[in-house]
Amino acid sequence: MWRRQVADEWFNLNTIYDEVMLLGHSMGALLCLDLAVRHPVRSLVVLAPAIGVRVKGQSLFRVISWFIQKWPRAWESDPDIIFFDERDDDDDLYLGSEYWRWHWFGALADLFSLQSATERSLGSIRAPVLGIYGELDELVGSAGRKRMKSELKSPYVEKILSDCGHLIPYDPHPGSKEMAVRTIIDWLEGQSAHKSGAS
């Protein structure tokens, strides 16, 4: 379902626009890489892509999901992180109650299956890739970055944001998300200019 949704949107956008570039964060970045494995995408930006993520017991998640749909996990709202609109009080409570407060074993099994398939196929990506990572990211660590560097055969640029964690688009550290946005805009403009110059 995840892969089909992303592919459908990409195909739809390609019927409307001359140039379509991909951008994704975390699992969304993994889905962008997966799409680039299977289709000739123009270029893509991945923020903390879910590559190289290893969790204890992940090989058992599929079997566990047959018996247990979800399992509670510790989570607390962080008022410093704004996900939707700074005018909304506790804007992450809904996501917290539905997502961060639970281990959804079936979805996690699907995620790790997709991660494994994408990792095996990184070398088939032909599109230029910009990878942006938070230096303090404890979920996507150096293993994922090393894998991207060693296995991507297409042009690859990496940017590490100091004092930034996994939630790059929402990072509360002053300047982190702004630096990410500036890096993305500059890189995408460069990709667009490169295409125009080559035409």
Query: Where are the chain's structural domains?
Result: 2-198
Report the pLDDT value the prediction gives residue 40, as an integer from 0 to 100: 92
Please tell me the number of Cα atoms within 13 Å of 46 on its side-chain side.
28
CA–centroid distance for 64 within its chain: 25
Give the pTM. Answer: 0.89
How many angstroms separate the CA atoms of 133 and 163, rounded?
A: 11
Angle at CA of residue 41, ends 39 and 43, nearest 5°: 150
| Predicted confidence pLDDT, tens digits, the chain (199 residues) | 899 999 999 999 999 998 899 999 999 999 999 999 999 999 999 999 999 998 888 889 999 999 999 999 888 877 777 666 555 566 677 777 888 888 889 999 999 999 999 999 999 999 999 999 999 998 887 888 999 999 999 999 999 999 899 989 888 888 898 999 999 999 998 887 766 555 4
- The CATH classification number of 2-198 equals 3.40.50.1820
Under 8 Å between Cβ of 13 and 93: no
